[in-house]
Amino acid sequence: MRVRVLGTAAGGGVPQWNCACHGCAAARAHPSWRRLHASIAIEASPGRWYVVNATPDIAEQIEANPDLHPGPERRRTPVAGVVLTDAELDHTLGLPRLREARDLRVVATGTVRDALARGLRMDRVLAPYTSLTWSDLPEDEPVPLDGAGGVAIRAVRVSGKRPRYAADLDLPDGAWSVALHVTDRRSGASLVYAPALAGWPSGLGRALSAADCVIVDGTFWDDDEPRRSGFTDRTATAMGHLPISGPGGTAARLAALPAARRLYTHLNNTNPLVDPGHDGHRTLAGMGIEVASEGQVIDL
Ligand code: MLT
Ligand code: MN
Ligand code: ZN
């Protein structure tokens, strides 16, 4: 199974359009600091790719990765569908950018689908342009992406954290945010993709312990970072993102996993790791942890 990293930034990207913080300003001057919104693509069968989360950058991400280019027929695309881990804007605003599709398969939990339909009116808005075909992503049940015997994805509930636009929607608590446990049934190899870790429930811990590669939430370096940078009064944890370092940080937990590869993604522009020369990269490397980078290929 081949996985391609399409982007590695939290909502806003690096640089963020209205931000002149150190990381955003440096990213305007130095291309190596730039990061598109967090996303991966999974090759479910030869030449058929599923993009995990439809970010506002999805069209640029497709252009930047030749595996995802259309052809040889004029309107033939290797992008077979989109899988959603949650209904956050940074993971779903790319759906309207794909409206030129003849039809579009979207795999998501019922909760995420309802949030998009009721909170954003996504189905109504897109109906005149394309037809969205929803595939249910039940919790804890493997769903084959492209026929039995190939790649299957299993949703593992991470938290009930709702997007802010959905705070008042009359929708039950449910699988608002899931991790994906992606298994290649031919090789038995598996990957866990979890771009939003609001907690570390036991089911998630089991999936992470069973995976050969994990790509997880690296939004903030430490818990106080969002407050210190002045854009909010809330800590990282209160914003639904366990920090990397410090007490309860995810780095120590990742280091203890048996996975051969452990990577962080979804970096906020305040995270010191957006500086490619920051010491934190060496600290993490010493723990067997990498920061994911755009275009990176992971073969499992
Ligand atoms: C998050 O990851 O917490 C959300 O995407 C925040 C946002 O973009 O509004
Ligand atoms: Mn986000
Ligand atoms: Zn910034």
Query: Given pLDDT bands bounded at 50, 70 and 90, which one contains residue 1?
Result: very high
Task: Indicate the average pLDDT of the chain.
Answer: 97
| 267 touches ligand 1 (CB under 6 Å) | no
Q: How many angstroms separate the alpha carbon of residue 235 from the centre of ligand 2?
A: 15
| 88 touches ligand 1 (CB under 6 Å) | yes
At 148 the pLDDT is: 87
Q: CA-CA distance, 40 to 194, in Å (whole number)?
A: 11
Q: How many angstroms separate the alpha carbon of residue 297 from the centre of ligand 2?
A: 22
Q: How many angstroms separate the alpha carbon of residue 10 from the centre of ligand 2?
A: 5
At 197 the pLDDT is: 98
Which residue, 16, 23, 12, is CA-closest to 55? Answer: 12
What mean pLDDT is predicted for residues 241-263?
97
pLDDT tens by residue, 127-163: 999 999 999 999 999 999 998 889 999 999 999 999 9
Token couple for 10: 């939290």
Query: Phi then psi for 286, rounded to 5 degrees?
Result: -65, -20
Q: Which helix (H) or strand (E) holds 282?
A: helix 279-286
The architecture CATH gives domain 2-299: 4-Layer Sandwich (3.60)
What mean pLDDT is predicted for residues 253-281?
98
| 90 touches ligand 1 (CB under 6 Å) | yes
Identify whether the C-beta of residue 166 lies closer than 8 Å to the C-beta of residue 143: no
Identify whether the C-beta of residue 130 lies closer than 8 Å to the C-beta of residue 98: yes
| 86 touches ligand 1 (CB under 6 Å) | no
SS3 of 295, please? coil
**Could you tell me how far CA 70 lies from the centroid of its own chain?**
23
| 143 touches ligand 1 (CB under 6 Å) | no
Query: Phi then psi for 51, rounded to 5 degrees?
Result: -95, 130
Q: CA-CA distance, 42 to 56, in Å (whole number)?
A: 19
**pTM of this structure:** 0.98
Q: Which helix (H) or strand (E) holds 91?
A: helix 89-92
Identify whether the C-beta of residue 216 lies closer than 8 Å to the C-beta of residue 194: yes
Q: How many angstroms separate the alpha carbon of residue 196 from the centre of ligand 2?
A: 7
| 218 touches ligand 1 (CB under 6 Å) | no
Token couple for 29: 């001057």
Q: What residues sit around ligand 2, an ion, with C-beta below 5 angstroms?
A: 10-11, 88, 90
DSSP string, 188-246: --EEEEES--S---HHHHHHHHH-SEEEEE---SSTTHHHHTTS-SS-TTTTT---SSS
SS3 of 255, please? helix
pLDDT tens by residue, 38-85: 999 999 999 999 999 999 999 999 999 999 999 999 999 999 999 999
Q: How many angstroms separate the alpha carbon of residue 72 from the centre of ligand 1?
A: 37
pLDDT tens by residue, 162-212: 999 999 999 999 999 999 999 999 999 999 999 999 999 999 999 999 999
